[in-house]
Amino acid sequence: MLLALGVAAAATVYLAGASPLWSVAAGLLAMAAPSFLIATVVGAATPGHRERDRADAMSGTEFEDYVAHIARSAGVPVIMTSISGDWGVDLIVGHRPNRLAVQCKRYSRPVGASAVQEVVAGAAMQDCTRTMVVTNHEFTPAARKLAERHGCELVGGAELAALRTTIRRLTRPSEPTST
């Protein structure tokens, strides 16, 4: 398909009066541009080694602060819960009625289903309608299955770069339903 695009571009440029050299250059550019643009978008969305290393070098409390900072930069209020009696919710993000309960886990191993259980149970106690678990690592299959079942958003180390966008999406006011 890219070859056909390149040939078509080269022919169009040649028929417009350009020299054969410029026609070939236009054809090559047309073939390379889609791959270049896709790679640019993927590269921009992939956290660099410094971003991953930074999250891995933090303490658990520093990781919570890091996630809270990202949430605040998304333009939503953040309440950091107390260490004890938080019902499994580390951060409360957004405005009522779309508040998001966030559980932060800075682990050196995959996060299990207990983190999902904690935040789903604690969300109601903290008056939150949505839930999220954020980690610097990954999630176990059991955690993914439980999260899917309860509508809990999981953000692993590879998705940390997109955390701000995810928070904006989850805390956006719901659209009024028409009757």
Number of domains in the chain: 2
* Phi, psi of 134, rounded to the nearest 5 degrees: -120, 130
- 8 Å CB contact between 47 and 163: no
Q: How much is the pLDDT for 137?
A: 92
Is residue 178, in this structure, part of any structural domain at all? no
pLDDT band at 53 (very low <50, low <70, confident <90, very high): low
Please provide the average confidence, as pLDDT, over all residues in the chain. Answer: 84
Is residue 84, in this structure, part of any structural domain at all? yes
Q: How much is the pLDDT for 49?
A: 55
Does one domain contain both 91 and 154? yes
Helix (H, G, I), strand (E, B) or coil at 74: coil
| Least confident among 35-39, 44-48, 114-118 | 44-48
Q: Choose between 22 and 37: higher pLDDT.
A: 22
Does one domain contain both 123 and 38? no
Q: What is the mean pLDDT of residues 145-161?
A: 93
- 8 Å CB contact between 89 and 81: yes
Does one domain contain both 24 and 55? no
Does one domain contain both 10 and 78? no
Q: How much is the pLDDT for 172?
A: 83
pLDDT digits (tens, 9 = 90+) for 56-106: 678 888 999 999 999 999 889 999 988 765 678 999 999 988 899 999 999
Does one domain contain both 30 and 59? no
CA quadruple 113, 147, 95, 78: dihedral, nearest 10? 40
Sequence-ordered strand ranges (E) for the chain: 78-80, 91-93, 100-105, 130-135, 153-155
pLDDT value at 47 more than 60: no
- Apex 114 CA angle, 172 and 104, nearest 5: 45
**Residue 109 belongs to domain with CATH number:** 3.40.1350.10
Does one domain contain both 28 and 107? no
Name the pTM for this structure.
0.66
Does one domain contain both 53 and 126? yes
pLDDT digits (tens, 9 = 90+) for 119-147: 999 998 888 999 999 999 999 999 999 99
Domain extent, residue 71, equals 49-171
Q: How much is the pLDDT for 31?
A: 79
Cβ partners under 8 Å of residue 56, min gap 6: 106, 108, 136, 157
pLDDT value at 41 more than 80: no
Is residue 176, in this structure, part of any structural domain at all? no
